Each structure stands twice: as C-alpha cells, then as structure tokens.
Amino acid sequence: MAEVQSQAPSVPEAERYYAEHVQLDSGTAGSSQETLQESMNKGARQSWRLVGVVVDPTSPGGIFLVWDKKGFFSG
C-alpha cells in the first residue's frame, strides 16, 4: 500500500487584508504595550491602515491585528 504524506495546509498569501498575530506578555509590566506599539509602528511604516483587532481564543494574551494593505490610505 502506498504511503500518503500529509502536508500542513499552507497559509494563503495576503492580498488586501493581512492578519498579524501579536503575542502580548501580561507577566511583565509595560511589555504588552511596547509589543503592541512596535507592531502598530511596523504597519504604519508600510502605510497600512489598521481596520480591526481580534482576540485569539486559542492563545492566552494573543491578538490579531487586521491591516488593510491597499485601502485609501494604504497606497
């Protein structure tokens, strides 16, 4: 019998919207805010527009920042 290799499904490449996972560390004072600010600055440097924030139910302290890469302000 032939063996079937299972491959993990690949994540599709972002077209207009990009979901960035950010892990916020609640154990260290100030580090969550710094991590979030770094991620927001990274998106701003690329002229992306932040359109949403979603809590990751599978990761304590995890959130998704949803960016519009091609919107009115995004180029």
Per-residue pLDDT tens for 21-45?
Answer: 999 976 666 789 999 999 999 999 9
**Residue 6 — pLDDT band, cuts 50, 70, 90?**
very low
Cα separation, 39 vs 49, in Å, equals: 12
For 16-36, b/e burial (b = at least 16 CB within 10 A) is eebebebebeeeeeeebeebe
pLDDT at 55 over 90: yes
Residues 22/65, Cβ–Cβ less than 8 Å: yes
| Structural domain contains residue 12 | no
Q: Residue 71: pLDDT band by 50, 70, 90 thresholds?
A: low
For strands 49-55 and 17-23, give the pairing: unpaired
Q: What is the span of the domain harbouring residue 48?
A: 17-68
Q: How many domains does the chain have?
A: 1
| Residue 5 in domain | no
| Count of other CB atoms within 10 angstroms of residue 48 | 23
- Residue 73 located in a structural domain: no
Tell me whether residue 51 is in a domain: yes
pLDDT at 7 over 60: no
pLDDT band per the 50, 70, 90 thresholds, residue 8: very low
**Looking at the domain assignment, is residue 64 inside a domain?**
yes
